[in-house]
Structure 1
Amino acid sequence: MKLIITGHSRGLGAAIAETLLARGIAVLGLARRGNASLAERYPQLLREVTIDLSDVAALQDWLAGDQLPGFLAGCSSLCLVNNAGTVQPVAPIGSAQNAAIARALNLNVGTPLILANAVIAASPKVPEARILHISSGAARGPYPGWSVYCASKAALDQHARAVALDEVAGVRIASVAPGVIDTDMQAEIRATSLASFPARDKFEALQRNGQLADARECAGRLVAYLLDDRFGSEPVADLRDYLCAETARRS
């Protein structure tokens, strides 16, 4: 098995990459910055590509090269984790910068869809490919100020539903909301003005009450879900529902 993951330099992406590297699985990480800690500890397993994933033209230039086919050579199964994303711009409609909206849609939607297409096209002889979109509860419940973020995450959910209907042999896909995780994005949310994000108090309370999930623990659960035989049986899922079902099954 081999893993391709976006946004592996920090937060949840770094934790997912580390979890799989620790299992001896080769990882290709795509991000604006490298992960020096992982590179030092797993020099034989980790390959890194420094790229701005909000720049779709740069992504397409990279895909036109030979690094992706080279990484996939000899692969018996692969996983693509579309983790990189941004919550910005946070603003009511009419107040956001158009360029910020375009960057967010490129990073949150354009890049995941392009990578999913490119990875499957580049691996026709790989018996099984799993695609995991890191979605959000915001895809299913709207928040004021988050129109761009909510729409972009909802797009990933709908993409997973449609790809599942394609019934391409060997391809499994799921867009999964992982819960609220203690990452830099949460700090960014708490630093947003109430005028831009009226629901800020809710996220401040989650942090204050210790209700943010640890990134490493969440990564372990996501990896367990990704590798589970039932992965893809539901194209849109919530990790917390999966955990509840696992607990009930084992009791």
Structure 2
Amino acid sequence: MIKAILTGHSKGLGLGIARALLERGHAVLGISRSQCDALELQYPTLLQQISLDLANSASLDWLESSRDLNDFIANTTQLLLINNAGLVSPIGPLGSQATLDISRSVQLNVTVPLAMSALLTQKMQSHQKLRILHVSSGAAQSAYPGWSVYCATKAALDMHAKAVQQDQSPNVTICSLAPGVIDTGMQTQIRETDELLFPNKQRFIELKNTNSLSSPETTGVQLVHYLLSPNFGKLAVDDLRAH
């Protein structure tokens, strides 16, 4: 039995991933600040949801002792962890970045994926297998003005996947995957940012105006196909657009 733990499942790409998994008949435990009632109504036996602000440092302590999490893991041979939740803020040069915004972004973009990966590896039994997918970004490889925190946090995921692969942990495979540019709320936030804070703003406006953004639904299907493929984990860092 395949089960998936998915962060940030209630909207955007996360919702697209959740729907793709559920349509294949795989149980999903979604962890997000908000819930998706419509999806739960459609898949009442397959979808479980935990309302939790993962950007809060106390969230990981709660999850570690969560009965819902432990029960979900118990009856599966193949567990998937999709670290999708993330923040693009703070956007702007160093002088405009609030320390609280930096802390929340590092917590959600880096600490949670790394900690969840370790936590589930420790909770798995010897007969169980774990596939970890970090949702990365092209920003992990290319620096952008105004995105120093976002670029740094996504680069951290890529390096984490490379190092974990070197560990050769039994029954654990990992990949940090850039999914491409997707039409989500994050893109809306980017287009609404003051150009003084994000000089590349016009490029993202043009992507929207020329219909060059992929849909969360289509990308979700492609990402799940990649995650379940027999070749998953051969590359520690990859780009979905190359497939």
Shorter-normalised TM-score: what interval?
Answer: over 0.9
Equivalent residue number for residue 76 of structure 1: 77
Paired-residue identity, %? 45
Q: Does the Cα contact within 8 Å between 1:3 and 1:28 map onto a contact in 2?
A: yes
Give the C-alpha shift of residue 211 in structure 1: 0.4
* Aligned mates of 2:57, 2:78 — CA distance in 1: 26
One-letter amino acid matched to 1:206: L
Q: Does the Cα contact within 8 Å between 1:82 and 1:112 map onto a contact in 2?
A: yes
* Aligned mates of 2:14, 2:199 — CA distance in 1: 28
State the secondary structure of the residue aligned to 1:131. Answer: strand
One-letter amino acid matched to 1:22: E
Equivalent residue number for residue 16 of structure 1: 17
Equivalent residue number for residue 150 of structure 1: 151
The runs of at least 4 aligned residues of structure 1 exceeding 4 Å deviation read: none
Q: How does 1:52-63 map to 2 (within 5 A)?
A: 52-63=53-64
One-letter amino acid matched to 2:190: I
Equivalent residue number for residue 204 of structure 1: 205
CA deviation profile, 1:154-191 (whole Å, cap 9, x unmatched)? 00000000000110111110000000001111011000
Equivalent residue number for residue 175 of structure 1: 176
CA deviation profile, 1:2-31 (whole Å, cap 9, x unmatched)? 000000000110110111111111100000
Moved more, 97-106 or 116-125: 116-125
State the secondary structure of the residue aligned to 2:9. Answer: coil
* Aligned mates of 2:21, 2:66 — CA distance in 1: 26
Equivalent residue number for residue 138 of structure 2: 137
Give the C-alpha shift of residue 66 in structure 1: 2.1
Q: Does the Cα contact within 8 Å between 1:51 and 1:59 map onto a contact in 2?
A: no
* Aligned mates of 1:65, 1:171 — CA distance in 2: 22
* Aligned mates of 1:19, 1:41 — CA distance in 2: 13
CA RMSD in angstroms, aligned pairs only: 0.8
Equivalent residue number for residue 247 of structure 1: none
Equivalent residue number for residue 215 of structure 2: 214
* Aligned mates of 1:139, 1:154 — CA distance in 2: 4
Give the C-alpha shift of residue 56 in structure 1: 2.1
- Normalising by structure 2, we get a TM-score of 0.98
Q: Please, which runs of 5 or more residues in structure 2 have no aligned partner?
A: none
* Aligned mates of 2:202, 2:63 — CA distance in 1: 41
Give the C-alpha shift of residue 81 in structure 1: 0.2
Q: How does 1:1-251 map to 2 (within 5 A)?
A: 1-241=2-242, 243=243
Give the C-alpha shift of residue 128 in structure 1: 1.6
Q: Does the Cα contact within 8 Å between 1:133 and 1:175 map onto a contact in 2?
A: yes
* Aligned mates of 1:206, 1:80 — CA distance in 2: 30
* Aligned mates of 2:161, 2:196 — CA distance in 1: 33
Q: How many residues align?
A: 242
* Aligned mates of 1:44, 1:153 — CA distance in 2: 34
Give the C-alpha shift of residue 126 in structure 1: 4.0
* Aligned mates of 1:119, 1:45 — CA distance in 2: 20
State the secondary structure of the residue aligned to 2:10. Answer: coil
* Aligned mates of 2:125, 2:149 — CA distance in 1: 34
Give the C-alpha shift of residue 59 in structure 1: 2.1
Give the C-alpha shift of residue 224 in structure 1: 0.7
State the secondary structure of the residue aligned to 2:28. Answer: strand
* Aligned mates of 1:227, 1:61 — CA distance in 2: 29
State the secondary structure of the residue aligned to 1:94. Answer: helix
Moved more, 58-67 or 227-236: 58-67
Q: Does the Cα contact within 8 Å between 1:75 and 1:126 map onto a contact in 2?
A: no
One-letter amino acid matched to 2:146: G
Moved more, 118-127 or 15-24: 118-127
* Aligned mates of 2:130, 2:239 — CA distance in 1: 21
* Aligned mates of 1:59, 1:51 — CA distance in 2: 10
* Aligned mates of 2:238, 2:187 — CA distance in 1: 21
